[in-house]
Structure 1
């Protein structure tokens, strides 16, 4: 294999890391200059029987349909590329896919190109803003899974990169036919069995059992604890994650944390201590996932599972006597971001999740099979109120294995399980809290199919779904569930809580929701944070309330309609939108300058629970 081809493959293998760091390039052309691109002679290879999918054929049919899209303006293209850096690398992604296809056809093994790949990674890594010391770990971690996926498929470069959101999508002009075609039209190749259905009987509370005080629900998300955090080590460094003893850089790390780093255990403990000081204590807790740190080039299965265990045991110990309902994040697995339940390693992860989660709450016996299958479940919190926790990793564009979902029966099984659970809850007069890690409208990091399914699900059961809680983005955000993104009718609002970790520039945070004791609908929530800069300066960490939602955003209530009106007010109220942008980073200054284009796109994010909804909003922007 030509060295230039290997270099492209290295970039693909490091995608999970590079996508975070590509913003360090001043110009995308810098990447192309470092990677000479030429005519590879790529042609679409024939279909490989039942074990592959020719994505080009499926998407060609979509492309020749009579509706539907227009190119974005040059100005909007620049705005989108500035806000979503991965859009700058569409052409690079296409070249990667071309060369992966060449590699697959050559029948070369991973070991064949590993050594030269490391050499070339060392050469290109400074352009992406990280030191070459991570190259061995990154290539060994992400190279084999990527090649495994590519070997199962016949990938068309243009359509694959569009699907994985490395290219700015075309804007929608015909809403009647705006839904995207599926990535594949093939049927699953193995039999799908019915998911284990919950044995749900009527659980309506009696009149005398109804409480008079609001229920308090604590949400903790994205802890990302770093066992190797070292005070005094460089907080400004030349690799992906700083504040480790073995990195080079400047600006010594403070004791309690830094914005380029994950949090040490003792700062996580500070936050938990502050929660325990709040009276009355939470009635129950939602943990929306992601325990391990972001040092993805150092990780292995043993370490990931150990961190998962340590965090669960820590929460269980510190909140003894309070039920904690978890969901699976994208960092619980190895490699981080990747999840594919048919593979043995992920079956082990699911079994370990079952072992850990049953410590946290009374797990119904009939739900053990669902967790072992694909880490989803339902449980009764109290009479009349139910939790539905689902696995969102199927919808994540950084999960390379998601391209194989066409032959993964657990995705369809989970969807049918969610529908059955909500149907039975409605029959029994129960209200439902849905929890997941990755929000459905996290553009451009989620597949449109995920957002479309979730939007329809919530719309169908909006009368019984009282709360939708997510994490993952590390930001304080919300997403409107709009069954028709061209109309001002909403089915719900998905709340996205900011992270515990400081990684990506925000202060450590957690949130407490207040629910009506009879209807279980949210009446307000309090957002708490730790000013990490002040804590380091004073050596006195003080967790404070950042805001209460109703007061902060002048809301009549926390109904979906109130948040839809809030999004509309953002367009004309500069003070309000600036408040939202600052709160997005839990009171830090990480947001920086957000010009008019940035503000409009941010408002579109609040109005989107799918890529289609986001495109509809962006299509209406006259910029």
Structure 2
């Protein structure tokens, strides 16, 4: 996680005094940022001098417990960044700025610690030592991830012009930690047109039964090394691959998959595709929104990743001949994980190999005129029928664990500008558009500037965009997009995941799409219960069933205005929100056992209402309403509460946070950032402060 960046510097700062750390934290972002920057500059200067001379100055020795005592300690390493208190955010931002100041100079100065012919070897040695000493992962995982990522990280550190304040602004995205760097705070040129937004988008056709059927597959995460009976509880990011002979029954991987940190075996994927073919005989399109490759992030290679992609794509083509498949790229597809380079960097760290492989595989379904943009950046557009256009983005360039984001900010403009131009042409041609992208723009790991500009496009072309389709979160969910004045103007539908990683039942979605406006008028989710399937083993195939149909369980009004109204109903009636949460978690047994606490419910409703991570007005409004409703629930009699708790269809609601691990936010991807953060903070480990 991001927190290792903090860990290295807190170990230093706990023993030293930094003048100026505020006792009471103001909410004035300008003041906080200035104080943070001053402290970071002072600390980094003193520390660099210490590295050069070996002599600790009085100032460095006197850095007291102010920083250490200002933060909550545990929360810094257990909570997500956007959940931290203001004091913890201040400490995180300040230590980030100081760390990057030091490391950047070690890379860029002529006699820096990480310059010269032995620079990479020194950096690996320091980073590997820190990773192993702090037991961030097993030695095998530490060494592999460092080997994979250091060439790119080293190149970025030496060639990027990014300063520490901008780096930390992107990395953490706290309001006061943000800075206005033109390279990292740009705006798209958007051509005007259309009426002003004065109300939510509400023009939804009536469901008639003759709609197009669109299958949504996402986050397949095929594990070619999965072994039924292997150890399902391990120290590595992904299990169910090793130690078959020594595995006890309660820790053995199930035949059809496992709720623990395990991805999908081929026989489960193949069975799922065969079930879909037999059950849904009239598919019009298939959307595959990325992450075919598994979570064995320390064991990837160009060849292994290509083989997994080819095996899945070939099987889709074999089982669904004549059905157009429109794929996009997930963050797990490249080697190394998450890294999508610009075009003009050396071949050994360039992502072009992936785009070439994917164009070759996708050409089964895509026309030749998609080649240029796929090879340029992994995105394309195609018109499957008159009046309809599909746009597939590679929005991994907004992913804050894609370290090429820190190389240059303005090179993220061309794809979004291309999206603008493509939407403008579609508008003029009278076409309706579906946008496919792996990462929801409202996800906390999507760079807020990219998400903001994407949201501006959704607002501007709200009459043209009929639907947005995402994956990545492994959750069966949705996100609303709002205009600058707070009107709901678009919906991003999330297809969940076929993998079980982690604590999920395998699932897929089927959309009912009105054939003229191409709007989603209903959708249904299909799952099988993993516990039941594994109890029967390989002698019986899993029993898939329709878990729910959205119109029957929530509302028949699936336009942005209708979903926005549904959010008000969820806030006023928590039982509706709890039902949504159960389906969001695919009613997986571990999740149902753990339940959803108050904070879980607050996060659930907020996530639906956020299309840009730092634009949370609607989220906060809904959370305030929900808190009132939850308080009112607590005043009911114990008899009523007991009756509600015993209802079979209700998941338990805990009063404290559920202790079940929550890896659905892609814990393995977070692991990568913790390892590479070592590279940025490695110099701090040289002096053995940790």
The TM-score, its normalising length taken from structure 1, stands at 0.78
Look up the match of 1:605: 607
Cα 1:432–1:587 change in 2 (3 A) is: same
Cα 1:186–1:261 change in 2 (3 A) is: closer
Structure 1 CA distance for aligned equivalents of residues 557 and 623 of structure 2: 29
- Asked if 1:237 is matched to 2:234, the reply is yes
Of stretches 231-240 and 415-424 in structure 1, the one that deviates more from structure 2 is 415-424
- Asked if 1:473 is matched to 2:473, the reply is yes
Cα 1:338–1:590 change in 2 (3 A) is: farther
Cα 1:170–1:597 change in 2 (3 A) is: farther
Superposed CA offset, 1:10-58 (max 9, x none): xxxxxxxx46xx7xx9xx99x569955578999xxxxxxxxxxxxxxxx
Look up the match of 1:68: none
Cα 1:462–1:186 change in 2 (3 A) is: closer
Cα 1:576–1:397 change in 2 (3 A) is: same
Look up the match of 1:219: 216
Shift in Å at residue 169 of structure 1?
A: 4.4
Q: Are 1:312 and 1:356, in contact at CA under 8 Å, matched by a contact in 2?
A: yes
Structure 1 CA distance for aligned equivalents of residues 453 and 31 of structure 2: 22
Where do residues 527-538 of structure 1 align in structure 2 (5 Å cutoff)?
A: 527-538=525-536
Cα 1:583–1:111 change in 2 (3 A) is: same
Look up the match of 1:572: 572
Structure 1 CA distance for aligned equivalents of residues 432 and 185 of structure 2: 36
Cα 1:557–1:160 change in 2 (3 A) is: same
Structure 2 CA distance for aligned equivalents of residues 467 and 480 of structure 1: 11
Look up the match of 2:587: 587
Cα 1:99–1:312 change in 2 (3 A) is: farther
Look up the match of 1:394: 397
Where do residues 329-340 of structure 1 align in structure 2 (5 Å cutoff)?
A: 329-340=330-341
Look up the match of 1:504: 502
Structure 2 CA distance for aligned equivalents of residues 144 and 118 of structure 1: 14
Q: Are 1:326 and 1:389, in contact at CA under 8 Å, matched by a contact in 2?
A: yes
Where do residues 39-58 of structure 1 align in structure 2 (5 Å cutoff)?
A: none
Structure 2 CA distance for aligned equivalents of residues 371 and 538 of structure 1: 44
Superposed CA offset, 1:410-443 (max 9, x none): x332222212221221222211111111111112
Structure 1 CA distance for aligned equivalents of residues 15 and 101 of structure 2: 10
- Asked if 1:349 is matched to 2:348, the reply is no
Structure 1 CA distance for aligned equivalents of residues 460 and 547 of structure 2: 35
Of stretches 343-352 and 536-545 in structure 1, the one that deviates more from structure 2 is 343-352
Look up the match of 1:524: 522
Look up the match of 2:148: 141
Shift in Å at residue 269 of structure 1?
A: 1.0
Q: Are 1:229 and 1:262, in contact at CA under 8 Å, matched by a contact in 2?
A: yes
Cα 1:308–1:122 change in 2 (3 A) is: same
Superposed CA offset, 1:145-202 (max 9, x none): 222222223554455234212x75459xxxxxxx9845636999xxxxxxxxxxxxxx
Shift in Å at residue 266 of structure 1?
A: 0.4
Q: Which has the larger radius of gyration?
A: 2
Cα 1:33–1:372 change in 2 (3 A) is: closer
Q: Secondary structure, in 3 states, of the residue corresponding to 1:481?
A: strand
Look up the match of 2:62: none
- Asked if 1:110 is matched to 2:120, the reply is yes
Structure 1 CA distance for aligned equivalents of residues 17 and 418 of structure 2: 46
Q: Secondary structure, in 3 states, of the residue corresponding to 2:257?
A: coil
Shift in Å at residue 525 of structure 1?
A: 0.5
Q: Secondary structure, in 3 states, of the residue corresponding to 2:606?
A: helix
Of stretches 270-279 and 153-162 in structure 1, the one that deviates more from structure 2 is 153-162
Superposed CA offset, 1:565-595 (max 9, x none): 1222221212111111111121114543433
Of stretches 599-608 and 230-239 in structure 1, the one that deviates more from structure 2 is 599-608
Q: Are 1:550 and 1:557, in contact at CA under 8 Å, matched by a contact in 2?
A: yes
Structure 1 CA distance for aligned equivalents of residues 473 and 432 of structure 2: 27
Cα 1:38–1:597 change in 2 (3 A) is: closer
Look up the match of 1:192: none
Q: Are 1:512 and 1:527, in contact at CA under 8 Å, matched by a contact in 2?
A: yes
Q: Are 1:467 and 1:521, in contact at CA under 8 Å, matched by a contact in 2?
A: yes
Q: Secondary structure, in 3 states, of the residue corresponding to 1:184?
A: helix
Cα 1:580–1:121 change in 2 (3 A) is: same
Structure 2 CA distance for aligned equivalents of residues 154 and 422 of structure 1: 33
Q: CA RMSD in A?
A: 3.5
Q: Secondary structure, in 3 states, of the residue corresponding to 2:407?
A: helix
Q: Are 2:291 and 2:332, in contact at CA under 8 Å, matched by a contact in 1?
A: yes
Structure 2 CA distance for aligned equivalents of residues 495 and 573 of structure 1: 23
- Asked if 1:119 is matched to 2:108, the reply is no
Structure 1 CA distance for aligned equivalents of residues 598 and 504 of structure 2: 22
Of stretches 149-158 and 527-536 in structure 1, the one that deviates more from structure 2 is 149-158
Q: Secondary structure, in 3 states, of the residue corresponding to 2:511?
A: strand
Look up the match of 1:543: 544
Look up the match of 1:196: none
Of stretches 396-405 and 242-251 in structure 1, the one that deviates more from structure 2 is 242-251
Q: Are 2:221 and 2:293, in contact at CA under 8 Å, matched by a contact in 1?
A: yes
Q: Are 1:347 and 1:372, in contact at CA under 8 Å, matched by a contact in 2?
A: yes
Aligned residues between the structures: 534
Structure 1 CA distance for aligned equivalents of residues 100 and 433 of structure 2: 42
Q: Which runs of 5+ in 2 are unaligned?
A: 19-28, 35-69, 188-207, 628-690
Q: Are 2:219 and 2:499, in contact at CA under 8 Å, matched by a contact in 1?
A: yes
Look up the match of 1:492: 490
Structure 2 CA distance for aligned equivalents of residues 601 and 225 of structure 1: 29
Q: Which runs of 5+ in 1 are unaligned?
A: 1-17, 43-58, 65-72, 172-178, 189-210
